[in-house]
């Protein structure tokens, strides 16, 4: 992927951080996005240690003005976009108020729509590009405590397929990766418990998701578009 530039949203932590380091190790120059500049600098150090290069761009993508301005703040066309930034909320539906509900959809859904729309245009003009959206197993199966979160991730699946249809004829591939439970910022006890429900009986490390993102983003996956790839230890297989 030497000569390609990749933007990874939510790359200051968890799956996004691992994906940024993975893409850098594959040769891409990586734009690391997040809100926390200190953690952004740390990820750039990790990328440099892996022999890669990149820079950091901050934005709170749940905020309308910051989202709208973000492509201009990035300031260059991308070969690869990984729409990873997101957050979850689990609990009984009647405990989730309208403001947190809107916040979930703003962060997990509107961001994917806006950034894909913005960056895919330039990819389409150049006739190539790869976009990887991070969905979730909650976008495939129902989780009793994850009605709103699952709704956001099912929306990501739907947008992935529709964007693939919109931009495929211009050479832009759009896919989703749907992780199962991953050890990131969430409560490890909850991640452990969810991991036990998978066929492999464990949760994943972020790097296990990042390697799949790195493949789907790369020219090695040149005939894959509109796909939603489960990386969930078999949780959604049976």
Nearest to 47 by CA among 72, 69, 75, 19: 19
Q: Does 13 bind ligand NAP (CB under 6 A)?
A: yes
* 146 near ligand NAP, judged by CB under 6 A: no
Set 149, 156, 217, 218: catalytic member: 149
Between CA 57 and CA 70 the distance in angstroms is 9
60 binds ligand NAP (CB under 6 A): yes
Q: Write down how long the chain is.
A: 238
The verdict on 61 binding ligand NAP (CB under 6 A) reads yes
Q: Does 36 bind ligand NAP (CB under 6 A)?
A: yes
Residues 56-81 as b or e (16 or more Cβ within 10 Å = b): bbebebbeeeebeebbeebeeebbbb
Question: What's the CA gap between 226 and 123, in Å, rounded?
Answer: 16
5, 22, 26, 84: which one binds ligand NAP (CB under 6 A): 84
Active site residue 183: no
Among 26, 140, 184, 198, binds ligand NAP (CB under 6 A): 184
The residues carrying an active-site annotation are 149
Interaction site with ligand NAP (CB under 6 A): 10-16, 34-36, 39, 60-62, 84-88, 107, 134, 136, 179, 181-182, 184-186
């Amino acid at each position: 992927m030497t000569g390609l530039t990749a933007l990874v949203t939510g790359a200051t932590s968890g799956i996004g951080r691992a994906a940024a380091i993975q893409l850098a190790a594959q040769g891409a120059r990586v734009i690391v996005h997040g809100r926390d500049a200190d953690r952004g600098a740390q990820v750039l150090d990790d990328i440099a240690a892996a022999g890669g290069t990149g820079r950091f761009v901050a934005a709170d993508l749940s905020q309308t003005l910051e989202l709208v301005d973000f492509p201009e703040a990035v300031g260059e066309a991308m070969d690869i976009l990984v729409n990873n930034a997101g957050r979850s909320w689990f609990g009984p539906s009647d405990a989730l108020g309208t403001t947190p509900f809107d916040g979930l959809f703003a962060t997990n859904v509107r961001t994917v729509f806006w950034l894909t729309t913005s960056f895919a245009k330039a990819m389409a003009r150049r006739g190539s590009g790869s976009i990887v959206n991070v969905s979730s197993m909650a976008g495939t199966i129902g989780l009793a405590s994850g009605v709103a979160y699952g709704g956001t991730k099912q929306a990501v699946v739907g947008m992935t397929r529709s964007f693939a249809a919109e931009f495929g004829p211009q050479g832009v591939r759009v896919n989703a990766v749907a992780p199962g439970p991953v050890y990131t910022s969430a409560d490890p006890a909850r991640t452990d418990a969810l991991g036990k429900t998978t066929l492999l009986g464990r949760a994943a490390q972020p790097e296990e998701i990042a390697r799949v993102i790195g493949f789907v983003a790369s020219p090695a996956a040149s005939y894959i578009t509109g796909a939603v790839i489960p990386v969930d230890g078999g949780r959604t297989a049976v």
